A and B are shown apart, each in its own frame.
Chain A
Amino acid sequence: MATIYIDGRSYEVKDGQNLLQACLSLGFNLPYFCWHPVLGSVGACRQCAVKYFKNEKDTRGEIVMACMTPADDGVRISIDDPEAVTFRASVIEWLMLNHPHDCPVCDEGGECHLQDMTVMTGHAYRENRFRKRTYPNQDLGPFLNHEMNRCIQCYRCVRYYHDYAGGGDLNVFASRDHVYFGRSREGTLQSGFSGNLVEICPTGVFTDKSLGRHYTRKWDLQTAPSVCVHCGLGCNTIPGSRYGELRRVRNRYNHDVNGYFLCDRGRYGYEFVNSVRRIRAPLARTSNSSRQVFISSEEALAHAAALFSNRRKVIGIGSPRASLESNFALLTLVGPDNFYAGISDKDFEILNLARKVLRSGAARTPSLSQTREADAVFVLGEDVGNTGPVLALNLRQLARRKAAKFMAGVKIPPWNDAPIQRMAEFEKGTLYIAAPCATGLDAAASRSFHADPRDLARLGFAVASLLDPANAPKPADLTEIEHELAGEIAQALSSAARPLIVSGAGCGSPSVIEAAANIAAALKEIGRPAEITLALPEANSLGLAMLGAAGGIETASSLLRSGRADTVVVIENDLFRRCALETAIGFFDAAKYVVVIDHLVNPTTSKADLVLPAASFAESSGSLVNNEGRAQRFFQVLAPEAPVQESWRWIRHIMEAAGCPEAGQWNRLDDLVAALAAAHPVFGALASAAPDADFRPAGGKIPRQPLRYSGRTAIRAQIDVHEQPPPDDPDSPFAFSMEGDPRQPPPALIPRFWAPGWNSVQALNRFQQEIGGGLRGGEVGVRLIDPSPQAKAEYFQDIPARRPSEEGKWSLIALHHLFGSEELSALSPGVAGLCPKPYVALHPEDAAALGVVEGGMAKVAVDGATYSLNVRIVPSLPRGVAGLPVGLPGAPALDLPALGEVSKEGLDE
């Protein structure tokens, strides 16, 4: 700790900070623009000026920038010094010379850092009488508005986008008072993390275009803490809604998970909630009609209850995108032996393998934020940029961390960004990537290797065997390159202080995960503090695996075909995305009666005899388990219009109608959480993921609407002139109101970051224990699995054979897309526009041998079906390997990897 003196009073601050961090951590109102807790200090905006005194006797002092001055022991400064106060007001005055006076019509208005800082410095009257500078704006694609006239040249956008996120297409152009931030040419921003610019920009240059399409003023947004549902990382979000519509998603800082940033899938995927494909009322297929017709909830429940009283044999199909509570409710309804995972048997095997590795493997899995602290990383088989985007963003920081470590040696503190960033640009981090083809992260890697998943697994096994030659199994007949590369990787990992192995379900190959687990185990065996992170596909993939199921879809299907079951209840799942088309069709053909509880029309709901409208994540509360094994609670942001309700509530009503005894005990979410904890010891701590619905620290509920809420309006007067009472919410301590406890809630219940004088997202400073540190009040979410520290390395022995070179057979592998491979986000208009069309990717020489060109057509035959697909040439693909995109709208669902045939589409067809 260091003692510093601010305006004559002494304060204890953490060592190694700069004065701005120290002042903000202490709660002082010191304005700033160019500094950012993640991006560090560069001293550009000059806004955080304070008076610095050399010693006790120095009464004159000098102006310094707080962000560029270390908060060393004994430092004396004044924030209130008149010269410093005047200078800070002058900086705002300069920024305002060219900033337009368009706050009333600006999308940023009301949560604008520039507005806050202007008020904070006291600058009010304009003395400049000259014309303002103007710029042309650019169309940057579906996610961001660009209004350069508002720019105050803080440089945070390029420092974030280019330096931190590795984006190559946003830069700074020109100079003097005509500096321009944009693209060299108009066009969609290429980085998958562009949306963070909305929060990085201190004013209205980059604003959320999706919000703009259904704009509401920021202080009229009703918000609640939530968790992203678009991949397995579990980033925390703050969705905002008004008038029954979801308007936007913002980042919710969680020190242990996502920190300050989201990916664009997570930020912009939310619009499926407002989709025209939403199911708003129960649908049933009457026996004499093939059409589904709307029915009342009572009729629907009567239909459903009848299934259970008619001695039908019912199985449940759960879902990795449904909450733990909904899956558990279904499991309870049908019984554990009749509960199936709702993914293919192979995907279920992979999830179970992942669960096993994370729970009883030798190495611990780090939290998402801890992945930023690794100093050597081996990514095996996973295209993390597309399957766990924020993880990729973290891994990208290896070079910066390495540079920061070097700079610390020449006494440059980690917050002094410019020298660290310069060095990071020519010194790569210790990052090795082995993947089927080039990934977005390859540019940041010290070395990358592209091969068929089987060969990737073999490389992984080779690394493990080099680390622990005595015990780990060794693959035979490695190529010279593989052997040399494995040696280099083993050397890098074993000499690192915090080595991290990253793998996941992306390849669809259990061997790849086993190889990754072997490396982690081998490192532990030789005494290295290895960690392993597995990217898992969906928001509750791991939760589903932990809950357990009798199998995947194929197993369930054979049960149906055997006649041992005849009725199916599916929750929040489209089985046509999960398995080969034939399998899905066979499944529904075999089922006599199908109930689907989901929120969107999809091929599975259209197969249903009874469809019940489920609440989406935004309209419900529940728990999800991310790939770390962290259970996190998401809360209802808006109340759905009846009869839409949570899947578990539908199930509860069915149980009630069918006379099941449990139903009476399940009146609210907390009851299910308790029942789940009681039934499954692994979920014993689930209740501590967030305070329960009775949480009332000061007697009141936590308001979902901010203090600045406009209040009720006449917008629905044409429906009913009477004000409706706010909806009830038995499941959470939140109220649909602006009234309630005005104090900062505990971290799991923060519905928005706001503090007096801090209306922008920068108000987060006021919620942290220290700047960039944890939220006041402790961790958010609860880790449910941790391997025992005594866990011994147990090696997987099953090394796959080298890819067979069967004549005419191609190795078909899975390729993932940030935009398109995830089901729900692909229904958001912005994301939908960026989804690629289905294709088959080929190596250029393979394409030439087949006689096909980029954009031409090729036939892919697999599992007895043939598909015509556009050809995409991907030079980094191995020869004889064809890449097929996963989950794209219109793309066939395939069980990959697989062997198949690729040929040129003939003219005769």
Chain B
Amino acid sequence: MDRPLTENIRPGEGPPGIAEYERAGGYRALRKVLGDADPQGLIRTVTDSHLRGRGGAGFPTGRKWSFVPRGEQAAHPVYLIINADEMEPGTFKDRLLLEENPHLLIEGIVIGGYALQADIAYIFLRQEYTLAGERCSRAVAEAYDRGYLGRNILGSGFSLELYLHSSAGRYICGEETALLNALEGRRAIPRAKPPFPPVTGLWGKPTIVNNVETICNVPQIAEHGADRFRALSRSVDGGTKLYGVSGRVKKPGLWELPMGASIREILEEHAGGMRDGFTLRAIIPGGASTEFLPADRLDVKMDFDSVKAAGSRLGTGTMIVLDDRTCPVGMILNLMRFFARESCGWCTPCREGLPWLARTLEAIENGEGRPEDMEILRRHAGLLAPGHTFCALAPGAVEPLQSGLTIFEEDFIRHIREKRCPWRK
């Protein structure tokens, strides 16, 4: 099975240095691109590859790239920003790429940068990813040394500067436009759209923000073409996907599989199924801000459209498994506390609504719930909808709650009726 993203990764041995990466065929795609591809053609190839953004929203990458204004009059500098602020609870896929194969990321950045005719690129790195920071810094220095970055890359006339920027450490920085504000040294609050970043982004200039995993797919598309990339997938979305599993399974971890592998395959074949004595109750398929799928939906294919059709979102593709010995109310409370804490404080529903939900859930979990609390929770699940809030944080935050209120309704009511958490001894 092809694993273009992870085939060079040798866990425990550290990332390949630049020489090793080159020996394994690294930077070949870049040489090819700088040799003959025209930027527009490259964008078409990426569009044809059906590569969709791996950060969670699944926006077609080629289309996003096509929004950057072109031509003599176009504004410069153009910025390419890699969103490496991986802070979604339960998500650890970009970390693997950042720590174990930074040159793949850099190669993707230079090729993407060339397609966009970008001038400056940033890797916006989660603050806590210090090992990734060290390894990326070293790789960036190596790439500059070999002329893969900087002025006149490989004599092609194309120049790109790449900077590694460590986040100040808020979840909201992962939101594309809040990231731009953070990078400009402002408060990390999302921006209203329009204007959209491809036209007016960082410091008012055209800006593309791509996820780490997304951009790591670019070298293979550039080297082998769109058809080959699409063929890697078992769905309409191209390529492979890093799928992760956390929770009470036998082998929690991360695997690169064809896009569209089923939940069952990931959970049972790769994660080894549930640990002994634990029964699967539900999964959150793509990081904390996606809806629960109950245990009877294991045959859902993990691609953007299939998971959506099943009533949730693929998100980051890293699932959290809920077992029968863990309190679902406690789990939702845990998530809600996180989101309430990470609200940027800009818009009212998120800033005030999420803490109210967290306190209400806390009361229920502590045996102080009241029957009318269910109504407060349900009401909020509807009120904190997309478009009602300034950005997607709060709507994402109530996704597990909304589905949890249906799937685990009995558990909520038991908490309130028995005035205690049934899972607590």
Chain B residues numbered 364-417 whose CB sits less than 8 Å from any CB in chain A: 372, 376, 379, 383, 385, 387-390
CA–CA, A108 to B200, complex, Å? 40
Stretch of B58-66, B187-195, B215-223 lying at the A interface:
B187-195
Indicate if the CB atoms of B345 and A178 lie closer than 8 Å. Answer: yes
Q: Could you list which residues of chain B lie within 8 angstroms of chain A, going by C-beta atoms?
A: 170, 184, 186-187, 191-192, 194-195, 199-200, 203-204, 340-349, 351-353, 355-356, 359, 372, 376, 379, 383, 385, 387-390
CA–CA, A155 to B344, complex, Å? 13
CA–CA, A90 to B383, complex, Å? 8
Indicate if the CB atoms of A43 and B347 lie closer than 8 Å. Answer: yes
Query: Across the two chains, which residue of chain B brings its CB closest to A130?
Result: B359
- Chain B residues within an 8 Å CB radius of A153: 345, 348, 351
A133 to chain B, nearest CB (A): 9
CA–CA, A94 to B354, complex, Å? 10
Instruction: Please give 10 more A-B residue pairs, beta carbons under 8 A apart, in addition to A127-B376, A422-B184.
Output: A43-B390, A44-B347, A94-B351, A97-B352, A130-B359, A153-B351, A177-B355, A179-B345, A411-B194, A422-B204
Which one, A87, A90, A128, A419, contacts B191 given CB within 8 A?
A: A419
Which one, A44, A62, A64, A422, contacts B348 given CB within 8 A?
A: A44
Indicate if the CB atoms of B346 and A44 lie closer than 8 Å. Answer: yes
- Chain A residues within an 8 Å CB radius of B352: 94-95, 97-98, 177
Which one, B340, B348, B372, B390, contacts A91 given CB within 8 A?
A: B348
- Chain A residues within an 8 Å CB radius of B348: 44-47, 91, 94-95, 152-153
CA–CA, A153 to B344, complex, Å? 12
Which one, B192, B199, B343, contacts A175 given CB within 8 A?
A: B343
Whether A407 is near chain B, meaning CB under 8 Å from some CB there, is: yes
- Residue among B341, B346, B348 facing the most chain A CB atoms (10 A cut-off): B348
Whether A416 is near chain B, meaning CB under 8 Å from some CB there, is: yes
Query: Across the two chains, which residue of chain B brings its CB closest to A91?
Result: B348
CA–CA, A64 to B388, complex, Å? 7
Whether A782 is near chain B, meaning CB under 8 Å from some CB there, is: no
Hey, what's the 0/1 contact readout for A801-844 against B, CB within 8 Å counting as 1?
Answer: 00000000000000000000000000000000000000000000
Indicate if the CB atoms of B344 and A42 lie closer than 8 Å. Answer: no
29 contacts between A and B (CB under 8 A): A43-B192, A44-B347, A46-B348, A46-B349, A46-B390, A62-B387, A86-B383, A87-B388, A90-B383, A91-B348, A94-B353, A95-B352, A98-B352, A127-B376, A128-B356, A153-B348, A172-B187, A175-B343, A176-B341, A176-B342, A176-B345, A176-B355, A177-B343, A412-B194, A412-B195, A416-B194, A418-B191, A419-B195, A422-B184
A725 to chain B, nearest CB (A): 51
Query: Across the two chains, which residue of chain A brings its CB closest to B390?
Result: A43
- Chain A residues within an 8 Å CB radius of B347: 43-46
- Chain B residues within an 8 Å CB radius of A90: 349, 379, 383
- Chain A residues within an 8 Å CB radius of B170: 175
Whether A49 is near chain B, meaning CB under 8 Å from some CB there, is: yes
- Chain A residues within an 8 Å CB radius of B194: 411-412, 416
CA–CA, A418 to B189, complex, Å? 11
A47 to chain B, nearest CB (A): 7
Given the interface pairs A172-B187, A177-B351, A407-B195, the reply to whether A426 lies near B204 with Cβ below 8 Å is yes
CA–CA, A153 to B340, complex, Å? 16
Chain A residues numbered 148-162 whose CB sits less than 8 Å from any CB in chain B: 152-153, 155
Hey, what's the 0/1 contact readout for A173-206 against B, CB within 8 Å counting as 1?
Answer: 0111111000000000000000000000000000
Interface of B is mostly: loop
- Residue among A43, A87, A94, A152 facing the most chain B CB atoms (10 A cut-off): A94
A495 to chain B, nearest CB (A): 21
Indicate if the CB atoms of A176 and B390 lie closer than 8 Å. Answer: no
CA–CA, A742 to B385, complex, Å? 44
Return the 10 tightest CB-CB contacts between A and B, nearest first.
A94-B352, A179-B345, A175-B345, A176-B343, A130-B359, A177-B355, A46-B348, A176-B345, A94-B348, A423-B204
Which one, A68, A94, A98, A426, contacts B192 given CB within 8 A?
A: A68
Whether A410 is near chain B, meaning CB under 8 Å from some CB there, is: yes
Given the interface pairs A68-B192, A97-B356, the reply to whether A179 lies near B351 with Cβ below 8 Å is yes
Whether A63 is near chain B, meaning CB under 8 Å from some CB there, is: yes
A496 to chain B, nearest CB (A): 22
Query: Across the two chains, which residue of chain A brings its CB closest to B351?
Result: A177
CA–CA, A44 to B192, complex, Å? 10
Chain A residues numbered 417-433 whose CB sits less than 8 Å from any CB in chain B: 418-419, 422-423, 426
B283 to chain A, nearest CB (A): 28
Which one, B192, B195, B342, contacts A42 given CB within 8 A?
A: B192
- Residue among A64, A95, A411, A419 facing the most chain B CB atoms (10 A cut-off): A419
Indicate if the CB atoms of B356 and A130 lie closer than 8 Å. Answer: yes
Total number of residue pairs linking A and B with CB closer than 8 Å: 102
CA–CA, A174 to B170, complex, Å? 11
Query: Across the two chains, which residue of chain A brings its CB closest to B384?
Result: A90
Given the interface pairs A91-B349, A176-B345, A176-B351, the reply to whether A44 lies near B390 with Cβ below 8 Å is yes
- Chain A residues within an 8 Å CB radius of B387: 62-64
Indicate if the CB atoms of B203 and A426 lie closer than 8 Å. Answer: yes
- Chain B residues within an 8 Å CB radius of A49: 388
Which one, A64, A91, A130, A410, contacts B199 given CB within 8 A?
A: A410
CA–CA, A45 to B390, complex, Å? 9
Indicate if the CB atoms of A410 and B340 lie closer than 8 Å. Answer: no
Indicate if the CB atoms of A46 and B389 lie closer than 8 Å. Answer: yes
- Chain B residues within an 8 Å CB radius of A95: 348, 352
Query: Across the two chains, which residue of chain B brings its CB closest to A174?
Result: B345
Query: Across the two chains, which residue of chain B brings its CB closest to A403?
Result: B204
Chain A residues numbered 25-70 whose CB sits less than 8 Å from any CB in chain B: 42-47, 49, 62-64, 68
- Chain A residues within an 8 Å CB radius of B388: 46, 49, 63, 87
Chain A residues numbered 66-94 whose CB sits less than 8 Å from any CB in chain B: 68, 86-87, 90-91, 94
CA–CA, A95 to B342, complex, Å? 18
- Residue among A43, A68, A176 facing the most chain B CB atoms (10 A cut-off): A176
Query: Across the two chains, which residue of chain B brings its CB closest to A178?
Result: B345
- Chain A residues within an 8 Å CB radius of B345: 153, 174-179
CA–CA, A46 to B383, complex, Å? 12
Which one, A130, A152, A155, A419, contacts B200 given CB within 8 A?
A: A419
A807 to chain B, nearest CB (A): 51
A607 to chain B, nearest CB (A): 59
CA–CA, A65 to B342, complex, Å? 23
- Residue among A42, A46, A177, A411 facing the most chain B CB atoms (10 A cut-off): A177
- Chain A residues within an 8 Å CB radius of B344: 175-176
- Chain B residues within an 8 Å CB radius of A91: 348-349
Given the interface pairs A64-B387, A68-B192, A419-B200, the reply to whether A177 lies near B349 with Cβ below 8 Å is no
A151 to chain B, nearest CB (A): 11
- Chain B residues within an 8 Å CB radius of A407: 195, 200
CA–CA, A298 to B383, complex, Å? 74
Query: Across the two chains, which residue of chain B brings its CB closest to A175?
Result: B345
CA–CA, A418 to B184, complex, Å? 14
A87 to chain B, nearest CB (A): 6
B360 to chain A, nearest CB (A): 8
- Chain B residues within an 8 Å CB radius of A422: 184, 186, 204
Indicate if the CB atoms of B346 and A94 lie closer than 8 Å. Answer: no
- Chain B residues within an 8 Å CB radius of A86: 383
A171 to chain B, nearest CB (A): 9
CA–CA, A419 to B388, complex, Å? 21
Query: Across the two chains, which residue of chain A brings its CB closest to B355?
Result: A177
Query: Across the two chains, which residue of chain A brings its CB closest to B344?
Result: A175
CA–CA, A178 to B354, complex, Å? 13
Indicate if the CB atoms of B383 and A87 lie closer than 8 Å. Answer: yes
B160 to chain A, nearest CB (A): 23
- Chain A residues within an 8 Å CB radius of B379: 90
Chain A residues numbered 97-111 whose CB sits less than 8 Å from any CB in chain B: 97-98
A355 to chain B, nearest CB (A): 45
- Chain A residues within an 8 Å CB radius of B372: 127
- Chain B residues within an 8 Å CB radius of A418: 191-192
CA–CA, A42 to B345, complex, Å? 14
A274 to chain B, nearest CB (A): 41
Chain A residues numbered 383-441 whose CB sits less than 8 Å from any CB in chain B: 407, 410-412, 416, 418-419, 422-423, 426
